Chain A
Amino acid sequence: MTSAVTDPVRTPMRRRSKLAVRNTLLGWSFILPNFLGFAIITLVPVVTLFYIALTDFNVFGKGDFIGVGNFVKLVSDPLFQRSLLNTFYYSAMHVPLTIVVSLGLALLLNTKLRGVSFFRTAAFFPYITSIVAIALVWNLLFSPDAGPINEVLRFLGVANPPGWLTSQDWAMPAVVIISTWRDMGFYMILFLAGLQAVPRELYEAARVDGANVVQRFWNVTLPGLRPTMFLVTVLLTIASFKVFDLIIVLSPGGNAAPNQATVVLSQFIYQKGFVESKFGYASAGAVVLFFLCIVATIIQFLINKRRSA
């Protein structure tokens, strides 16, 4: 369809369609190697998901069609409720915190301070480190009695530092601290790229108008960062909704933290599907995760569109 529009208007119909056929073959020849893998490994399972969620499929083979039975069960499953709530709780802390910290870092690195390039590399280090290593190191750093973090807190005069990963209330905040520490380097690079695309003239103009640092940030930097902010928010939200590795490695055996304080949606899917072999039921949970991500993305897309209009 696009080729028909952009071809010269006077091209005879026959030649135009011939060109379209040639281009179609050419285009597909480029896309096909990737598309074959993509279609089989991603598209087919995504579509199949919705069918499996309506069956009582288990490891022993085909399941029977049971309609929305899995979803009805899901609604009253306390573990599912807890994991859904926890997923939202985690995202509500992780998304804003990571945005603030990584944007702050990017602003700091966008100046001409000494050691900026060293720091840019250092900030990326946590992101490339394996979750298993991060989880163990932080688990020990956070350990309530002998961990360095609480030791520092006691030294600073905190009489009763929190039990972190072993405490009902502090387990999730501890997870958020770790994941923010890990992710901030990556998002900082995105913000840094965005900052460098903000036209310098706008800063000059704002300065001429007498805008101070804070005013320049709100009226020049933030509006200029809108595309980056959109991308970062979308990526971060999806990443938060699907969080798994860090949480499962932090709590071996599923839930070291009391009362399932950190169980999340992906973990629920894993537990029901791969530990208890209830593929159908787990898929119903997966459908919920699927729609959470899609809806969140669409909402952010619409907000972004309205702001730019």
Chain B
Amino acid sequence: MVVTQLGGTPPVKSRRPLVGDRRPRTDRDSGGFARARRIVGSALLIVFALALLVPFFWMVASSLKGPNEVFSIPVRWLPETWHWEHYVELWTDTGMATWLRNTIILSTVVTFLQVLTGSFAAYGFAKVRFPGRDVLFLVYLGTIAVPWQSYMIPQYIMLAQAKLTNTLLALIVLQAFGAFGVFLMKQFFETIPEELSEAARIDGLSEYSIWARIMLPLSVPALAALALLTFVNTWNDYLGPLLYLRSKENWTVQLGLKNFIANNITADYSMLFTGLTISVIPIAVVFLLGQRFFIEGIATSGLKG
């Protein structure tokens, strides 16, 4: 059936999907079968979407419920009365404002340094040829396979001797110079045709200007992907702050929240959910703003392997 359908005029047939979509269409068999598959596919999508989003919905809804409503049987999905005041209480009664400020500073500085030094080094690896370059890159690449948990102890001893424990600075240096950013940007830079750099060189641009004025503007998706991943990972990091930040005024949102939960376990759950919701909202906004670039960046850059 398939053969006869395609047998006659393959060029026309094979061109058709290109109009709408570059992706291969797999559901082009016959009418009824294709429709059945589409229905099953859509049903699966809906099930998955529910599995993904229901916990979030439950979290946000619970943050607005009364104290005894969270675990009512049967499950009540919407609050009976809406307790918006939880958000005000959380803000005034806990260190949430300080923790948010710390986390924003930390994530922003780390992301800035990682993107800047990472893309700068990536240019050296991708576009300048010099002896030892490939060996050095292999060292960078190798450390991606080394988990942080395996060298956190020597690192801690070192930073403790430098008197950096209990400072945000420790966490900044910890996360700002990762090999991953260099790897990702290098893969992307290598897809940019060398002719562009050559033309710029003939026009008298230095290598540094080529990086700043040719490479960076062409790499927005990869830069966005790297920035988002770094920002999200720093924002959500738990182990780093747990090891380094002792005093309450230095805590990040994650650490503060964890403590809030631990000290609050008998008290009311709706306040806990309020805290969780507040910790998730900023990152969700950042993600939604950048997600288009982000997905494009991952799809077109080194992560493809």
Q: Which residues of A contact B (CB under 8 A)?
A: 1-4, 6, 20, 23-24, 26-31, 33-38, 40-46, 48-49, 52, 57, 105, 108, 110-116, 118-134, 136-138, 140-141, 143, 146, 148, 151, 181, 185, 189-190, 192-198, 200-201, 203-204, 207-208, 210, 213, 216, 227-228, 230-231, 234, 238, 241-242, 244-245, 248-249, 252, 265-266, 269-270, 273-274, 279, 282-283, 286-287, 289-290, 293-294, 297
- In the bound complex, residues from chain B placing their C-beta under 8 Å from that of A290 are 146-147, 150-151
Known A20-B130, A31-B136, A131-B254: A120·B117 in contact at CB below 8 Å: no
Interface residues in B144-163 by Cβ distance below 8 A to A read 145-158
Q: In the complex the two chains form, is A131's CB within 8 Å of B299's CB?
A: no
Q: In the complex the two chains form, is A113's CB within 8 Å of B41's CB?
A: yes
Minimal Cβ-Cβ distance residue in A for B116: A33
- CB of B9 closer than 8 Å to a CB of A: no
Minimal Cβ-Cβ distance residue in A for B261: A136
**B20 to nearest A CB, angstroms?**
7
- CB of B211 closer than 8 Å to a CB of A: yes
Q: In the complex the two chains form, is B304's CB within 8 Å of A132's CB?
A: no
Known A52-B157, A112-B20, A293-B150: A132·B257 in contact at CB below 8 Å: yes
* One of A3, A4, A130 near B279 (C-beta < 8 A): A130
Q: In the complex the two chains form, is A193's CB within 8 Å of B298's CB?
A: yes
Q: Which are the 6 A-B pairs with shortest beta-carbon distances?
A: A30-B124, A37-B177, A242-B147, A231-B305, A34-B121, A34-B117
Q: In the complex the two chains form, is A115's CB within 8 Å of B45's CB?
A: yes
- CB of B268 closer than 8 Å to a CB of A: no
- CB of B199 closer than 8 Å to a CB of A: no
Minimal Cβ-Cβ distance residue in B for A304: B305
- In the bound complex, residues from chain A placing their C-beta under 8 Å from that of B258 are 132, 249
Known A3-B129, A148-B58: A45·B155 in contact at CB below 8 Å: yes
Q: In the complex the two chains form, is B174's CB within 8 Å of A123's CB?
A: no
- In the bound complex, residues from chain A placing their C-beta under 8 Å from that of B75 are 148, 151
Q: In the complex the two chains form, is B129's CB within 8 Å of A195's CB?
A: no
Question: CA A270 – CA B273 in complex, angstroms?
Answer: 28
* One of B116, B131, B279 near A133 (C-beta < 8 A): B279
* One of B129, B151, B182, B238 near A45 (C-beta < 8 A): B151
Question: CA A138 – CA B155 in complex, angstroms?
Answer: 33
Question: CA A39 – CA B143 in complex, angstroms?
Answer: 11
Q: In the complex the two chains form, is A49's CB within 8 Å of B58's CB?
A: no
Q: In the complex the two chains form, is B131's CB within 8 Å of A228's CB?
A: no
Question: CA A43 – CA B138 in complex, angstroms?
Answer: 13
Question: CA A128 – CA B282 in complex, angstroms?
Answer: 11
* One of A124, A141, A193 near B287 (C-beta < 8 A): A124
Q: Mark B108-152, 1 if CB is under 8 A from A, else 0.
A: 000001001110110111001111111010011001011111111
Instruction: Name the prevailing secondary structure of the A interface residues.
Output: helix
- In the bound complex, residues from chain A placing their C-beta under 8 Å from that of B123 are 30
- In the bound complex, residues from chain A placing their C-beta under 8 Å from that of B45 are 108, 113, 115-116, 119
Question: CA A43 – CA B177 in complex, angstroms?
Answer: 11
- In the bound complex, residues from chain B placing their C-beta under 8 Å from that of A129 are 56, 236, 280, 283-284
Question: CA A129 – CA B151 in complex, angstroms?
Answer: 26
- CB of B276 closer than 8 Å to a CB of A: yes
Known A37-B177, A130-B280: A123·B52 in contact at CB below 8 Å: yes
Question: CA A49 – CA B254 in complex, angstroms?
Answer: 28
- In the bound complex, residues from chain A placing their C-beta under 8 Å from that of B303 are 190, 193, 231
Question: CA A248 – CA B149 in complex, angstroms?
Answer: 13
Q: In the complex the two chains form, is B298's CB within 8 Å of A282's CB?
A: no
Known A35-B121, A38-B140: A46·B146 in contact at CB below 8 Å: yes
- CB of B239 closer than 8 Å to a CB of A: yes
- Residue in B25, B125, B154, B173 with the greatest tally of chain A CB atoms within 10 Å: B154
Q: Which residues of B contact A (CB under 8 A)?
A: 2-3, 6-7, 10, 13-14, 17, 20-27, 38, 41-42, 44-45, 48-49, 51-53, 55-56, 58-59, 70-71, 73-75, 113, 116-118, 120-121, 123-125, 128-134, 136, 139-140, 143, 145-158, 173-174, 176-179, 182, 207, 211, 232, 235-236, 238-239, 243, 253-254, 257-258, 261-262, 269, 272-273, 276, 279-280, 283-284, 287-288, 291, 295, 298-300, 303-305
Q: In the complex the two chains form, is A28's CB within 8 Å of B153's CB?
A: no
- In the bound complex, residues from chain A placing their C-beta under 8 Å from that of B26 are 110-111, 203, 213, 216
Question: CA A209 – CA B257 in complex, angstroms?
Answer: 58
Instruction: Name the prevailing secondary structure of the B interface residues.
Output: helix
**B225 to nearest A CB, angstroms?**
10
Question: CA A136 – CA B145 in complex, angstroms?
Answer: 30
Known A34-B118, A41-B155: A111·B6 in contact at CB below 8 Å: no
Q: In the complex the two chains form, is A242's CB within 8 Å of B148's CB?
A: yes
Q: In the complex the two chains form, is B52's CB within 8 Å of A126's CB?
A: yes
Q: In the complex the two chains form, is A294's CB within 8 Å of B145's CB?
A: yes
- In the bound complex, residues from chain B placing their C-beta under 8 Å from that of A141 are 55, 58
Known A3-B129, A45-B151: A131·B48 in contact at CB below 8 Å: no
Q: In the complex the two chains form, is B129's CB within 8 Å of A192's CB?
A: no
Question: CA A118 – CA B174 in complex, angstroms?
Answer: 35
- In the bound complex, residues from chain B placing their C-beta under 8 Å from that of A181 are 51-52
Question: CA A21 – CA B153 in complex, angstroms?
Answer: 38
Q: In the complex the two chains form, is A244's CB within 8 Å of B149's CB?
A: yes
* One of A128, A210, A287 near B150 (C-beta < 8 A): A287
Question: CA A77 – CA B273 in complex, angstroms?
Answer: 39
Q: In the complex the two chains form, is B52's CB within 8 Å of A245's CB?
A: no
- In the bound complex, residues from chain A placing their C-beta under 8 Å from that of B261 are 132, 136, 252
**A205 to nearest B CB, angstroms?**
10
Known A37-B176, A249-B238, A279-B157: A136·B272 in contact at CB below 8 Å: yes
